[in-house]
Amino acid sequence: MKRVQTALPFLALIIVLFSGCTTVGETGRKQLMLITPDQEMKMGAEAFTQMKTTEKISRDPVANARLQRIGRRIAVSVGSDLPSAQWEFVVFDAPKTLNAFALPGGKVGFYSGLMNLAGQSDDEIASVMGHEIAHVTCRHGGERQSQAILAGLGGAALQIGARNSENRDLYLLAYGSVSTLGILKYSRDHESEADTVGLRYAARAGYDPRSAVTFWRKMEAANNGPSVPRFLSTHPPTQDRIANLAQLAPGLMATYEQAKRNYEGGAPAPSVVPAKAAAPSARPPAPNSPVVARPVPASTPAAKPSTEKAELDRFLGR
- Any idea which residues carry the catalytic annotation? 132
Helix (H) or strand (E) holding 90: strand 88-92
CA dist., res. 17 & res. 32, Å (int): 8
Helix (H) or strand (E) holding 207: none
What DSSP letter does each residue of 18-36 carry, written as one string?
A: HH-EEE-TTT--EEE--S-
| H helix runs in the chain, sequence order | 2-19, 37-54, 61-78, 112-118, 122-137, 140-161, 168-204, 211-222, 238-248, 253-264, 309-316
Which among 67, 76, 109 is positioned nearest to 92, based on CA atoms? 109
Using alpha carbons, list the distances in angstroms from residue 97 to 62, 90, 100: 19, 15, 9
Q: Give bridge partners of residue 103 from the DSSP assignment.
A: 107
The CA-based dihedral angle spanning residues 221, 227, 231, 236, taken in that order and rounded to the nearest 10 degrees: -10
